[in-house]
Chains A and B, each alone.
Chain A
Amino acid sequence: MAVPVAFFAVFFAWPVAAIVARGLKLDGVWQFGRITDVLAQSDIRHVLWFTTWQALASTALTLLVALPGAYVFARFEFPGKQVLRAAVTVPFVLPTVVVGTAFLALVGRGGLLDDLWGVRLDTTVWAILLAHVFFNYAVVVRTVGGLWGQLDPRQEEAARMLGASRLAAWRTVTLPALAPAVAAAALMVFLFTFTSFGVVQILGGPTFSTLEVEIYRQTSEIFDLPTAAVLTLIQFVAVGGVLALHAWTVRRRETALRLVDASMTARRPRGAGQWALLGGVLVSVVVLLLLPLAVLVQRSLDAPDFAYYRELTSDDSGVFLVAPIEAIGNSLEYALAATVIAVVIGGLAAAALTRRDAGRFVRGFDALLMLPLGVSAVTVGFGFLISLDEPPLDLRSSWILVPLAQALVGVPFVVRTMLPVLRAVDGRLREAAAVLGASPWRVWREVDLPMVRRALLIAAGFAFAVSLGEFGATVFIARPDNPTLPVAVAKLLGRAGDLNYGQAMALSTILMMVCAAALLVLERLRTDRTGEF
């Protein structure tokens, strides 16, 4: 417990507090009057309203589209399932600067909708909502599907046997077991869409503004730190409120679940209805998720003899001091370090949160851990600059800041993925093991670990992939001699000329492939291991 608390205090709470204090303190006196001043502006109130309703709408839409997907991935066996599950996660981990523009190929000028029906959604709120589904589909599929696949279908079958209708059986047996995972997924989607930045800027255009966009603008363009500080506090309160509510509902629904190996529960679809469901989900995945990704690949190949890819290996382009291709190695190293940090910190936190004697304070920490997801990268980045600037923690130009910042975003994923499963482990199993003389370490290794291994791998996979695509924090500290992939892409996109654009597309494609490969490896790792028990 002490380690995660210290980690968050030093690398999150302190930097954010420092930058907020810089904005709200004048000559050492707090200026709380600023809060009401800012809230009185009609622009700001408009931003608040838009931020909230678009997040609610996006969450609802994402659940609507992705829950059938979660069911299909959990319960059906079909060829190419692993590849597809890895592929749907790719948009989530890629930076918006890369995929946002590709998404325009679906909803914008000359896109699929334009070709078929002459409908153009770019610079409308629909583009924002659909893009949020595109980016967050995987959150629902992985979070809900992960648990759904491990629910023992025999329980539902038993209920049917005892005379319950199909709906009643689902409602009374499966739904209550699934609810915490659905709540967790919905909460994550809400968080991501509430704090949406790139999607709103790129697809919505400058007429739409969320709280996050406004904080970025006030901090980094207008340099109005007081206003930015007030907006940060507002976002903090809003996000904190949602998180507290969530923690409360999850605790109320905690029950020990009977978990089984996922490979036992999935089977080939039977009957027209199930085939239609599978078909529908596959079509929606192809159109909504894979098509925009395919556009990236196609644009990267749109030159003779892989010219864009060959150009990546030359180091005299002037844009970087090294060949852009080396960004791949940099990204992998950073992401690996970030994953290790996130899994250690997140794992310790999740274990501490599961303990039965965990007090009120500890359980409140559950919600606190999620806060970094709801705080603007620009706030944290600027905060780092003014708080981590004295020895022994002068990390401002150190490479470690990159994985640390990435881990900050990764830890909540680890905790959120592990916690529902860890909590579902029947405490009596641990007690029985302890009574029989097992040390706590052995209890963890032989009781908890086998049951949560899958969740642990999913968590690590997420943390790794999120770190790979992380852009906000990386951009603050990267140096020209070791840019990460997203930073290199952004830099190339910022320059005129065919070869620059083409290289950006080629690097994006590589980033996409690396992410997909990493996710696929985890998928395979999982099925190999589960054969053991």
Chain B
Amino acid sequence: MSITKKATVVAVGFGLVALSACGSSDSSDSDGDSKTVTLVSHDSWAVSKSVLADFEKQSGYKVKVLEDGDAGQAVNKAILTKDNPQGDVFFGVDNTLLSRALDNGLFQSYEAKGSDKIGAEYRVDQDKHRVTPIDTGDICVNYDKAYFSEHKLDPPTSFDDLIKPAYKNLLVTENASTSSPGLGFLLGTAAKYGDDGWQDYWTKLKANGVKVVDGWEQAYNEEFSGSAGGKKAKADRPLVVSYASSPPAEVIYADPKPTTAPTGVATGTCFRQVEYAGLLSNAKNTKGGKALLDFLLTKEFQEDMPLNMFVYPVLEGAQVPAEFTKYGPQAKDPETMDPAEIADHRDQWVKSWTSLVLK
């Protein structure tokens, strides 16, 4: 081994050390810096630039956002790193995974300012205040209006409708073990028909030709005939498990904007989802984290959420944009389930669902 070769090795070694050094100084700066507050969330997180800038200006904190994969991954990763968390506040654990987060001690207590103005039906963990509800949304069957008017058929309105012969081979849903709307739909049927009735319902749904794909993207963009992608792909399923806010999105993200939404919601097929945020245990900047949590409950943020994340506010008195009330009203009487009950049954239900529907 020659001197030159050794020199190369040493040089490269230095290079790597330098690289990792600038990497670590980058992160340790922000960790140690009490002027930065770090929000850990999932990849659906979105906020208007101006709203976030307002918070930074008023509070004096700089907000760093880490998006950590989809909703399930983000929660799991937060649990994995809870002794040495990546940030101060976690946003985006929903009622289907809440117990996993709480049982693992992910959050510390903090009652955010404005908690008393949260709609009563969204409140949980009232004695410890480890999590704060931030937004809500409904997982519902969406229908393609054009298909149903062409076929002179009334769109379905309830779970019971979906197993009627008139709707044979029309519905596409997602894998309950990998997709959060897929799981929500399963939980909706479990809430409706009970622990011993949902399997019977799904047997009938399967006999009625329900198609299951792996994720929302495939179901909505590839299989559902009412979506932009579906139209381009000549999709042939006019019913899809999606969100109550999907029809407003179809209007808002269209150019030119249509006067009515191309899709509608079967209001009797909804399952309510609530998303929570909390101050992470072992957070380095608890003060900043608390300020950030307070901010998530301000009217400004709550009213900014709908058009960014396509969810509804939980704060009483927060206005919902006109597009939402017009094209995607919230379901009046959605199926709901206590997070503790979900925790008790989720894994077992998903397992039986998998062998019942997929095998």
Which residues does A use to contact B, with CB under 8 Å?
2-3, 6-7, 22, 97, 101, 104-105, 108-110, 201-202, 205-207, 217, 219-223, 299, 302-303, 307, 311, 315-316, 318-321, 344-345, 348, 378, 382, 385-386, 389-401, 439-441, 475-476, 478-481, 487, 490-491, 493-502
Which among A220, A390, A392, A496 is the interface contact of B20 at CB below 8 angstroms? A392
Query: Once the chains bind, are A394 and B27 in contact (CB under 8 Å)?
Result: yes
CA distance in complex: A496, B311 (Å): 13
0/1 per residue, B14-53, Cβ < 8 Å to A? 0110011111101110110000001000011111110010
**Nearest CB of chain A from residue B158's CB, rounded to whole Å:** 23
**Nearest CB of chain B from residue A384's CB, rounded to whole Å:** 10
Query: Once the chains bind, are B232 and A220 in contact (CB under 8 Å)?
Result: no
**Residue B77 lies at the interface, judged by CB distance under 8 Å to chain A:** yes
Given contacts A206-B358, A318-B48, A497-B228, contact A385 B80 (CB under 8 A): yes
Query: Once the chains bind, are A398 and B24 in contact (CB under 8 Å)?
Result: yes
Query: Once the chains bind, are B27 and A497 in contact (CB under 8 Å)?
Result: no
**Nearest CB of chain B from residue A96's CB, rounded to whole Å:** 12
Query: Once the chains bind, are A480 and B65 in contact (CB under 8 Å)?
Result: yes
Given contacts A221-B177, A395-B20, contact A389 B253 (CB under 8 A): no
Query: Once the chains bind, are B235 and A109 in contact (CB under 8 Å)?
Result: yes
CA distance in complex: A72, B146 (Å): 50
CA distance in complex: A502, B347 (Å): 36
Query: Once the chains bind, are B177 and A202 in contact (CB under 8 Å)?
Result: no
Query: Once the chains bind, are A439 and B178 in contact (CB under 8 Å)?
Result: no
**Nearest CB of chain B from residue A313's CB, rounded to whole Å:** 14
**Residue B339 lies at the interface, judged by CB distance under 8 Å to chain A:** no
Which among A206, A217, A392, A397 is the interface contact of B212 at CB below 8 angstroms? A206
Query: Once the chains bind, are B222 and A498 in contact (CB under 8 Å)?
Result: no
Query: Once the chains bind, are B66 and A479 in contact (CB under 8 Å)?
Result: yes
0/1 per residue, B100-120, Cβ < 8 Å to A? 100000000000000000000
Could you list some 10 contacts between A and B, CB below 8 A? A101-B218, A321-B52, A386-B81, A394-B27, A397-B26, A397-B30, A479-B64, A480-B67, A487-B43, A498-B255
Known: A441-B4, A498-B254; 9 extra A-B contacts, CB below 8 A, are A109-B236, A202-B214, A223-B79, A382-B80, A386-B80, A395-B27, A397-B86, A479-B67, A496-B243
Q: Which 10 A-B pairs have the closest CB atoms?
A: A497-B253, A398-B23, A498-B228, A400-B23, A110-B234, A496-B249, A499-B253, A206-B175, A441-B4, A318-B308
Which residue of A is nearest B174, CB measured? A206
**Residue B209 lies at the interface, judged by CB distance under 8 Å to chain A:** no
Given contacts A441-B4, A476-B68, contact A2 B9 (CB under 8 A): yes
Query: Once the chains bind, are B80 and A205 in contact (CB under 8 Å)?
Result: no
Residues of chain B within 8 A (CB-CB) of A311 are: 255
**Residue B166 lies at the interface, judged by CB distance under 8 Å to chain A:** no
Given contacts A22-B80, A395-B20, contact A220 B69 (CB under 8 A): yes
Residues of chain B within 8 A (CB-CB) of A6 are: 13, 16
Residues of chain B within 8 A (CB-CB) of A220 are: 69-70, 72-73, 76
Residues of chain B within 8 A (CB-CB) of A104 are: 222, 233
Query: Once the chains bind, are B81 and A496 in contact (CB under 8 Å)?
Result: no
Given contacts A206-B213, A441-B2, contact A496 B246 (CB under 8 A): yes
**Nearest CB of chain B from residue A4's CB, rounded to whole Å:** 10
Query: Once the chains bind, are A441 and B23 in contact (CB under 8 Å)?
Result: no
Which residue of A is nearest B48, CB measured? A318
Given contacts A101-B218, A205-B214, contact A307 B76 (CB under 8 A): no
CA distance in complex: A400, B220 (Å): 35
**Residue B332 lies at the interface, judged by CB distance under 8 Å to chain A:** no
Which residue of A is nearest B231, CB measured? A498
**Residue B279 lies at the interface, judged by CB distance under 8 Å to chain A:** no
Query: Once the chains bind, are A480 and B45 in contact (CB under 8 Å)?
Result: yes
**Nearest CB of chain A from residue B27's CB, rounded to whole Å:** 5
**Nearest CB of chain A from residue B352's CB, rounded to whole Å:** 13
**Residue B229 lies at the interface, judged by CB distance under 8 Å to chain A:** yes
Residues of chain A within 8 A (CB-CB) of B228 are: 497-502
Q: How many A-B residue pairs have CB under 8 A?
A: 202
Given contacts A109-B234, A110-B233, contact A201 B215 (CB under 8 A): yes
CA distance in complex: A320, B8 (Å): 41
Which residue of A is nearest B212, CB measured? A206
Which among A217, A315, A491, A498 is the interface contact of B177 at CB below 8 angstroms? A217
Chain B, interface size category, equals 35 or more
Given contacts A391-B28, A400-B20, A480-B45, contact A207 B358 (CB under 8 A): yes
**Nearest CB of chain B from residue A308's CB, rounded to whole Å:** 9
CA distance in complex: A477, B359 (Å): 35
CA distance in complex: A481, B46 (Å): 11
CA distance in complex: A108, B223 (Å): 11
Which residue of A is nearest B308, CB measured? A318
**Residue B250 lies at the interface, judged by CB distance under 8 Å to chain A:** yes
Which among A205, A303, A441 is the interface contact of B213 at CB below 8 angstroms? A205
Which among A110, A206, A318, A394 is the interface contact of B28 at CB below 8 angstroms? A394
Query: Once the chains bind, are B178 and A344 in contact (CB under 8 Å)?
Result: no
Residues of chain A within 8 A (CB-CB) of B212 are: 205-206
CA distance in complex: A501, B214 (Å): 18
**Nearest CB of chain B from residue A380's CB, rounded to whole Å:** 13
Residues of chain A within 8 A (CB-CB) of B45 are: 480
Given contacts A101-B221, A439-B4, contact A382 B77 (CB under 8 A): yes
**Residue B185 lies at the interface, judged by CB distance under 8 Å to chain A:** no
CA distance in complex: A395, B175 (Å): 34
Residues of chain A within 8 A (CB-CB) of B246 are: 496
**Residue B12 lies at the interface, judged by CB distance under 8 Å to chain A:** yes
Query: Once the chains bind, are B9 and A206 in contact (CB under 8 Å)?
Result: no
Which residue of B is nearest A201, CB measured? B214
**Residue B319 lies at the interface, judged by CB distance under 8 Å to chain A:** no
Query: Once the chains bind, are A495 and B310 in contact (CB under 8 Å)?
Result: yes
Which among A205, A319, A386, A496 is the interface contact of B250 at CB below 8 angstroms? A496
CA distance in complex: A3, B68 (Å): 30
Given contacts A221-B72, A398-B24, contact A389 B81 (CB under 8 A): yes
Query: Once the chains bind, are B2 and A496 in contact (CB under 8 Å)?
Result: no
**Residue B84 lies at the interface, judged by CB distance under 8 Å to chain A:** yes
CA distance in complex: A348, B7 (Å): 13
Residues of chain B within 8 A (CB-CB) of A491 are: 43
**Residue B216 lies at the interface, judged by CB distance under 8 Å to chain A:** yes
Query: Once the chains bind, are B65 and A479 in contact (CB under 8 Å)?
Result: yes
CA distance in complex: A101, B216 (Å): 13
CA distance in complex: A104, B221 (Å): 12
Which residue of A is nearest B97, CB measured? A223
Residues of chain B within 8 A (CB-CB) of A378 are: 73
Residues of chain A within 8 A (CB-CB) of B84 are: 389-390
CA distance in complex: A221, B81 (Å): 16
Which among B28, B65, B100, B178 is the interface contact of A217 at CB below 8 angstroms? B178
Which among B9, B250, B253 is the interface contact of A3 at CB below 8 angstroms? B9
Residues of chain B within 8 A (CB-CB) of A440 are: 2, 4-5
**Residue B307 lies at the interface, judged by CB distance under 8 Å to chain A:** yes
**Residue B189 lies at the interface, judged by CB distance under 8 Å to chain A:** no
Query: Once the chains bind, are B234 and A392 in contact (CB under 8 Å)?
Result: no
0/1 per residue, B232-254, Cβ < 8 Å to A? 11111000001101100110111
Residues of chain A within 8 A (CB-CB) of B68 are: 476
Given contacts A392-B20, A395-B20, contact A496 B80 (CB under 8 A): no
Query: Once the chains bind, are B43 and A497 in contact (CB under 8 Å)?
Result: no
Given contacts A222-B177, A385-B81, contact A496 B24 (CB under 8 A): no
**Residue B161 lies at the interface, judged by CB distance under 8 Å to chain A:** no
Quick one: which of B152-188 are within 8 Å of A by CB?
175, 177-178
Which among B27, B52, B221 is the interface contact of A501 at CB below 8 angstroms? B221
**Residue B195 lies at the interface, judged by CB distance under 8 Å to chain A:** no
Query: Once the chains bind, are B249 and A495 in contact (CB under 8 Å)?
Result: yes
Residues of chain A within 8 A (CB-CB) of B177 are: 206, 217, 221-222
CA distance in complex: A392, B177 (Å): 38
Query: Once the chains bind, are A498 and B28 in contact (CB under 8 Å)?
Result: no
CA distance in complex: A6, B17 (Å): 11
